[in-house]
Structure 1
Amino acid sequence: MLWSNTPFSIALATGPKYFKQALANPNIIAIITTQIFSEETHNKTVIKTANADELFHVIHNRFPPVINNTKAYIGENCKISPQATIEDNVRIGNNCHIEAGAYIGSNTVIEDDCYIGPNATIGTQALLSKKLMDRTAILNILVVY
């Protein structure tokens, strides 16, 4: 989102307040918007489109997350779906079950004997639920590509 501390982030900013916040954040390199609210861009790429929400959704879900080199620790007797996404720098305790579509973000600790259901999102800064392209879309806004 607009307060992202992840370098090279892309932000969705569809109002003047949010556009200004995106301009001020040094981690944001590009802004997707429906209207340009300031002539000053701070050397950021600004993409103006009537379908800003949809474009952000497509970009967000198209590119893989940035990976660091600290691999996740997974305890004993865990059942983790191959369709789950486990970021680096994650600790998963023993006897955990993680379903398909689950997303576990960086710097997350999951204790022993936990169940994470299908499409659950853990370890994120924010979620945005919107109706896009005639479907409900859940945008995970921590990792911005």
Structure 2
Amino acid sequence: MGKPFLDEVTYLSKSVLWASNQNIDLFRRVIQVNSARQLSVIGSGGSSTAAAFLAHLHETYYGNLSRAITPLEYISKKTHQPSNKALAFISAEGKNKDILAAANHALSAQSSNFTLTLTIDNPLGRICNNTGLATVLAYDMPWTKDGYL
């Protein structure tokens, strides 16, 4: 079930330092380009917390309806996306079957999309790059296996 909680808490300061040293220019541009759109952020498991946080920030700062949803919720909805709505996919390793299914489901949507992963080379990033589905924001996390906490 993952690492012991104390080990993860101890790693928190290293993670904050790592995050503060990342180049976020593309991330910033993607957020700004989508600032006038509604946003659906797709994530599951540990990434659902990050999805909820991104949706909250987007709605708070830009005033546009934003919500976090699971891949299953997204797949169960119609595929047509209004032009004023963006999709974001968040996945630590970009390889869970549910997030990949949601990405494949989104191929028919005509919307602005981006994906955020914490591994450089992963199946989700490859789907997005190969199909033009989404702008890929990929970082190389220094910790092992799935995000922590």
TM-score for the superposition, normalised by structure 1: 0.30
Structure ranking higher in strand proportion? 1
Bigger radius of gyration among the two: 1
TM-score w.r.t. length of structure 2 = 0.29
